[in-house]
């Protein structure tokens, strides 16, 4: 009987650790738009594409080179302002298919989309 309890306790601990791990691994990003200080696409978002994405996306869709990125994202339906976190450009920014964005870069991107994805 004692042994049975020990095994149960052990399993319970594993469960706790697993839950905690899930919790930490989950990367929840909550944008906090500031109407007085909106994110600038050309000054803050485009430079991220420049450093992390155009190694490949200078020649394959979406083309993210400076000056072209905005139109290509809009016209190619990579942005969903109704549900920003569902935007293809956001979802693909850290799925490991290329160079992942850092969480602060993702926050910038998501905040910009939440603010209406303006060409600013
Ligand atoms: C090492 C090369 C490489 C890098 C770097 C890269 N990508 Fe990609 N990307 C690809 C390839 C190849 C595909 C097509 C295959 C696929 O969908 O995974 C693709 C597809 C995509 C798509 C889907 C295109 C479509 O029309 O379905 C998006 C969006 C995207 N990448 C965004 C990004 C972003 C944002 C970055 C930078 C954070 C990035 N990629 C960095 C190679 C790369």
Q: What gap in Å lies between CA 84 and CA 69, rounded to an integer?
A: 17
Nearest residue (by CA) to ligand 1, atom 5, is 98
The per-residue pLDDT for 25 is 52
CB of 55 sitting under 6 A from ligand 1: yes
pLDDT value at position 12? Answer: 59
Residue 73 Cβ contacting ligand 1 at under 6 Å: no
| 31, two tokens | 């944008």
Would you state the pLDDT for residue 108?
A: 96
What tokens appear for 43 in the block? 């000054």
For residue 41, the Cα-to-chain-centroid distance in whole angstroms is 16
Q: Ligand 1 centroid vs 92 CA: distance in angstroms? A: 7
* Alpha-carbon distances, residue 39 vs 2, 17, 54, 102, 108 (angstroms): 60, 38, 21, 17, 7
The DSSP output letter for 58 is T
65 near 58, Cβ under 8 Å?
A: yes
CA of 84 to the centre of ligand 1 (A): 18
Q: Is the CB of 78 within 6 Å of ligand 1?
A: yes
Q: Where along the chain do its domains lie?
A: 31-114
Q: Write down the pLDDT at residue 28.
A: 74
Is pTM, for the whole model, over 0.85?
A: no
> pLDDT value at position 30?
87
Could you tell me the mean pLDDT of each successive run of 10 residues in the chain, 120 residues long?
65 57 62 94 98 97 98 98 97 95 95 97
pLDDT of residue 70: 98
């Amino acid at each position: 009987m004692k042994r049975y309890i020990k095994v149960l306790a052990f399993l319970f601990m594993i469960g706790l650790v697993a839950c905690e791990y899930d919790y930490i691994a989950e990367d929840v990003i909550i944008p906090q738009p500031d109407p007085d200080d909106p994110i600038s696409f050309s000054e803050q978002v485009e430079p991220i594409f420049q450093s992390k994405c155009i190694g490949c996306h200078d020649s394959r869709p979406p083309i993210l080179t400076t000056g072209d990125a905005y139109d290509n994202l809009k016209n190619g339906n990579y942005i969903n302002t109704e549900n920003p976190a569902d935007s293809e450009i956001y979802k693909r920014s850290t799925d490991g298919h290329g160079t992942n964005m850092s969480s602060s870069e993702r926050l910038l991107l998501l905040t910009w989309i939440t603010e209406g994805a303006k060409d600013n």
